[in-house]
């Protein structure tokens, strides 16, 4: 919590120093996050690779990992996800990323580790995720980094193009890079 508060304070000071505006601009980002998070099921597409986020077992059962797969995925494969809001932290919504089979993305091993789907528990903070807009994307319809609540400097990252893992990589500069950007399309 102290790290999160310090980061927010430093960001607010930098925004004020660079733009000469009041801190009132900071809540607008939270508003755009709320608008851009789809209600119900969606498909997540990597901003850089254009590949879909899918569960490795093509269904989304607990015990499998998440990966990217090129378009088009076979019709019988499950490529939909949903965000379930589980908490609020410093005024920001906190979500679980849930597969269509009902398992949740889980940060088990931190940096450079593959992200597995596990049985959901709203008490398991390893399954809590924040959404941070990727700088340089449309502010009205931004791409987002899916950032670990437990390790706020790590975000879901497409390891490569084609059939590749999604793992947790460091966000240099405190914000998700384009490689860590995901666009959500309503299913």
- Is the pLDDT at 140 greater than 50, yes or no? yes
CA distance 117 to 65: 6
The residues spanned by each domain of the chain are 30-186
In the prediction, which pLDDT does 64 show?
96
Q: Is 0.75 topped by the overall pTM?
A: yes
Question: For residues 7 and 174, is the Cβ–Cβ distance under 8 A?
Answer: yes
- Mean pLDDT calculated for residue range 104-116: 96
- Provide the sign of the torsion angle of the four alpha carbons 145, 169, 151, 65, taken in this order: positive
| Residue 162 in tokens | 């084609």
In the prediction, which pLDDT does 13 show?
36
At 43-63, the pLDDT tens digits run 999 988 889 999 999 999 999
pLDDT category of residue 31 using cuts at 50, 70 and 90:
very low
Average pLDDT along the chain: 83
Closest CA to 100 of 60, 158, 45, 53: 60
Task: Kindly report the CATH class assigned to 30-186.
Answer: mainly beta
């Amino acid at each position: 919590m102290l790290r999160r508060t310090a980061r927010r304070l430093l960001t607010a000071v930098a925004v004020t120093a660079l733009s000469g505006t009041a801190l009132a601009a900071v809540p607008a980002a939270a508003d755009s996050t709320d608008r851009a998070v789809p209600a119900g099921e969606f498909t997540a597409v990597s901003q850089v690779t254009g590949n879909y986020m899918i569960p490795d077992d093509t269904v989304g059962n607990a015990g499998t990992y998440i990966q990217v797969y090129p378009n088009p995925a076979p019709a019988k494969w499950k490529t939909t996800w949903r965000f379930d809001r589980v908490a609020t932290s410093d005024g920001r919504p906190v979500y679980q990323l849930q597969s269509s089979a009902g398992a949740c993305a889980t940060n088990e091993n931190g940096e450079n580790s593959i992200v597995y789907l596990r049985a959901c528990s709203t008490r398991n903070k390893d399954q809590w995720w924040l959404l941070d807009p990727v700088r340089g994307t449309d502010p009205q319809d931004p791409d987002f980094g899916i950032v670990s609540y437990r390790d706020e400097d790590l975000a879901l990252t497409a390891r490569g193009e084609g059939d590749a893992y999604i793992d947790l990589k460091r966000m240099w500069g405190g914000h998700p890079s384009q490689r860590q950007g995901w666009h959500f399309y309503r299913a």
